[in-house]
Amino acid sequence: MAHDIVFFLAPDDQAAAATRLRGPGAAFETVACRFVEPDSAIAEWDMYFAQPSTEAPPLERLLAWEWPQWVTTPMNDGVEVFALPRRLTRALAEASPAQLDELAGRWSARLRAEDGDDMTDDDLPAVLRDVARLAVSAVNRGGGLYSWSY
């Protein structure tokens, strides 16, 4: 499980890839959280907007979904930098508060079922709302939404 996750805005994949060694830092707008797998979160969020449902998808269906693309070559050091799909960035930017709340509830329920007491203590609805605000900026300014994790 990733320990530190930072969702961030970057002008392009090259700028996002340059964060690999030290993380996004103060040069980028960011939202941080802990103890969440960014790739499964991104896939689940994308699935929600493509196939809305209050119920968490069965694990087999989630695993079969298109997962985010790395913007750096994966290595054995645990660092991952993913690009959120453009369709997800746009969907997050356009999401209503009710949609974000429904998705946050579904996401939290899945994590609680999988991780139990080891679940993150971050306020997941707040994290999702903050990531949606980043998505609005990405759509309005161009560029993309990324995640960095270690």
Q: Tell me, what's the pLDDT at 118?
A: 66
Give dist(CA 105, CA 140) in Å, integer.
27
Order of strands, edge to edge, in the sheet holding 144-149? 30-34, 4-10, 144-149, 80-83, 69-70
Give dist(CA 126, CA 129) in Å, integer.
5
Q: Where are the alpha helices (DSSP H) in 1-150?
A: 13-17, 38-50, 59-64, 86-94, 97-115, 124-141
Cβ count near 114 (within 10 Å): 14
- Chain-centroid distance, C-alpha 18: 19
* pLDDT tens digits along 68-80: 999 998 888 989 9
* pTM of the predicted model as reported, rounded to 2 decimal places: 0.92
With a cut of 70, which residues of the chain have pLDDT below it? 1-2, 117-119
Give dist(CA 87, CA 108) in Å, integer.
22
* pLDDT tens digits along 10-27: 999 999 999 999 999 999
Q: Which residues contact 37 (CB under 8 A, 6 or more apart)?
A: 1, 2
